[in-house]
Amino acid sequence: MALPKRIIKETERLMAEPVPGISAVPHDDNLRYFDVTIDGPTQSPYEGGTFKLELFLPDDYPMTPPKVRFLTKIYHPNIDRLGRICLDVLKGNWSPALQIRTILLSIQALLGAPNPDDPLANDVAQQWKEDQNTAIATAKEWTEKYAKA
């Protein structure tokens, strides 16, 4: 199946005008599959870390959102052990006018602003609510351990 114009344009733009702190490179043999890295935002427990993700554009993209998952282990209330992300724009609030670029920016923003009230990883969210300092320390520890190659 020929790659839709939309995906070609998006990929071109991602290459030509990359977003600072984010990279997304399609596989040569599957142009719908992207290797993604996101730098942890400054002033966050993830600062200094580089997080690997995978992103896949399903057949009915952009009518359905891309599938995105963290590959690097991360301690975050909205990201579970399997790297799945709880983010509105990846679910009910997806709009076909959104793009890979905007989604990755939203994920980066989520790292800067965890939301323990809407948790995916319940144990992490609980820790985050009960003792934020310890939670942040753990997040920093994990960043040090897993996100710095």
Partner 1 sequence: MESEDDFNSARSTDDEMMDDVESGYSDDDFDDLEIGEEEGFDAHDKITATQKQSYEVEFKVWTPKDIDEAQLRLINEVKDVLGQSPEATAILLRYSRWNREKLIEQYMDNQAAVLEGAGLGESNSTEARVQTLTGFTCDICCDDTSPMTTFAIKCGHRFCIDCYKTYVNAKVTDEAEAARIKCPADQCNRIVDNKSMELLVPDNLTDRYHELLVRTYVDDLENLKWCPAPNCEFAIQCKVKAKELKKVVPTVHCDCGHDFCFGCAYNDHLPAPCDLVKKWVKKCEDDSETANWISANTKECPKCASTIEKNGGCNHMTCRKCKHEFCWMCMGVWSEHGTSWYNCNRFEEKSGTEARDAQAKSRQSLERYLHYYNRYANHEQSAKLDKDIYVKTEKKMTQLQNHAQLSWIEVQFLDSASKALQRCRQTLKWTYAFAFYLERNNLTEIFEDNQKDLEMAVENLSELFEKPTDQLEKMKVEMMDKTAYCNKRRIILLNDTADNLRKSRHAFWSNDLGA
**Centroid of chain to Cα 44:** 15
The active-site residue out of 86, 104, 110, 124 is 86
Closer residue to partner 1 in complex, CB, 63/113:
63
Find the shortest distance in angstroms from Cβ 140 to partner 1.
Answer: 25
Find the shortest distance in angstroms from Cβ 119 to partner 1.
Answer: 6
Residues 51 and 37 sit within 8 Å (Cβ to Cβ): yes
Closer residue to partner 1 in complex, CB, 39/70:
70
Q: Is the dihedral of CA 53, 95, 28, 30 positive or negative?
A: positive
Residues 37 and 58: their CA atoms lie apart, in Å, by 20
In the complex, which residues of this chain contact partner 1 (CB under 8 A)?
4-6, 8-10, 60, 62-64, 86-89, 91-93, 95-98, 102, 118-120
Closer residue to partner 1 in complex, CB, 5/29:
5
Q: Is 124 among the catalytic positions?
A: no
Amino acid at 24: A
Residue carrying the six token digits 């896949």: 56
Catalytic residues, which ones? 86
